[in-house]
Amino acid sequence: MVERRIRSMLGFKSIRCVLILPGGIEVMHMIVKGQMKCVRATHPTSTDHSYCTNAFWRSGRKLASRGRSGPLKYNPIGLVYGHAMTGLHSRSAQRGRALPSPGATVPISLVNGFLASAGVGRDVIEGYLYEAGIAIELLGEPHSRVTEEQFSTLYRTLAIDLDDEMPGIFSRPLRGGTLKYLCLSLLDARNLRTALHRFGQFFHILLDDFFVESRNDGLIVQVMLRPDAAVGPISPLGQELMLKLVHGVCSWLIGQKIPLLQIELACPRPRHAVDHLYFFSGSVKFDCERTLLRFSVDYLDAPIRQSKRNLQKFLARAPGDWIFESFSEQLVCHRVRQYLSAALPDLPVIDLVAEHLHCSVRTLSRHLAAEGTTFQVLKDELRRDIAIQRLTDTPDTIAAIGADVGFDDPSAFHRAFRHWTGSTPGTYRRRA
């Protein structure tokens, strides 16, 4: 599709490399062994790209290989980062740029939690998993992961089939259209303060499970889920999803992500607690007396910037826009992950990362520890997530994937991948 569109606009009969830029298209046309000819086009693409990507084709087939144009890098949407030999897109220049970091993968425990809440039989589960591209065998492997896209597809499939937008999680279903009418009730609010009050009233009418209460002390806003004693405690999954919904909808309403100061959950610390760094953009505490989130009071008077015209896009992307955090949230761990992603297949030592972030190694390590992670864990998570996404979404060879995440020895990549996921790369690809 992209290739045909560019050929049509620029008149090339064959395209070997296309570099898509925010303001237009730069086409590098291969003419003789390893030699390139570059042509700048002023035509903007139909898609707004906020980053540079290289997509390589040969005979109409995407190709991810290393050529004279420089080392290639994979990105999470299935294209490839590339560098020209010199200039803006050189290796040194790219390292200084804020390239997008691949999305975090989702632990299989979250998938199991959703399926358990749905309360359906194994044969039905197999159908749901098939729709999402998830093999049923992965449910029994505690270290298995799925991509955000796979999880979002599973979520939507369950919500539609069960007619419950929080599939089986609360005492009664949230029928199809709940999120739509929630948002419609908030769009004409004067500011976020009013919208938060309406949010609480909406769920008070809809569910008996909890009350959504918001209050502030002049500095910090606290949004708390108070369970109804007659119904019983809210499940851990229910707590997390409702806080995510509050945060996601409020951020969407005012047109900017609201930085969270703290999240408290009235449930035990899960095995995959480190994944909450990518579900919430603030500090997460477990085993608390209450379930709540906190953010600055400065956002309460922010005006509502969305309209009915924008609502359909928000709903179409659900639950992605409100469940998952983007890596622009800029926790220290997110910034480290972005830097490491831009440097792959090289793996910078912590000294270089600390220098890039203008701090000492000790300070960086202390910040990461406060966020519940370490430098080595971040490196492993990044490489694991990229490998899983490519095994799931691309036909790239296992050896190429291993090399692109920093493993010169394929056997070392196999061992590391088994350690990360409980499966070999080949087995994971067959299942996916």
The secondary structure of 354-409, three-state, reads HHHCCCCHHHHHHHHHHCCCCHHHHHHHHHHHHHHHHHHHCCCCHHHHHHHCCCCC
In this structure, which amino acid lies at residue 97? R
Query: In Å, what is the CA distance from 119 to each residue of 114, 129, 323, 425?
Result: 9, 14, 22, 31
What pLDDT shows up at residue 256?
86
How would you class 386 by CB atoms within 10 Å of its CB: exposed for 0-12, middle for 13-18, buried for 19 or more?
buried
User: Which two structure tokens, joined as six digits, stand for 293?
Assistant: 């989130």
What pLDDT shows up at residue 1?
43
User: Which two structure tokens, joined as six digits, stand for 299?
Assistant: 């956002």
What pLDDT shows up at residue 57?
29
What pLDDT shows up at residue 274?
58
Give dist(CA 308, CA 176) in Å, integer: 18
User: From the first residue on, what is the mean pLDDT of each consecutive set of 10 residues in the chain (432 residues)?
Assistant: 39 37 36 34 33 30 34 32 29 35 76 90 91 87 87 93 94 95 97 98 96 95 95 92 94 90 91 64 88 96 93 88 64 86 90 92 90 89 90 89 92 92 78 54
Enumerate residues 6+ apart whose C-beta is below 8 A from 375. Answer: 336, 350, 353, 364, 365, 368
C-alpha neighbours within 13 Å on the C-beta side of residue 184:
6
What pLDDT shows up at residue 88?
23
pTM greater than the 0.85 cutoff: no
Q: Are 11 and 4 in contact (CB under 8 A)?
A: no
CA angle 15, 17, 19 (to 5 degrees): 120
Q: What are phi and psi of 127, to 5 degrees?
A: -65, -40
In this structure, which amino acid lies at residue 61? R
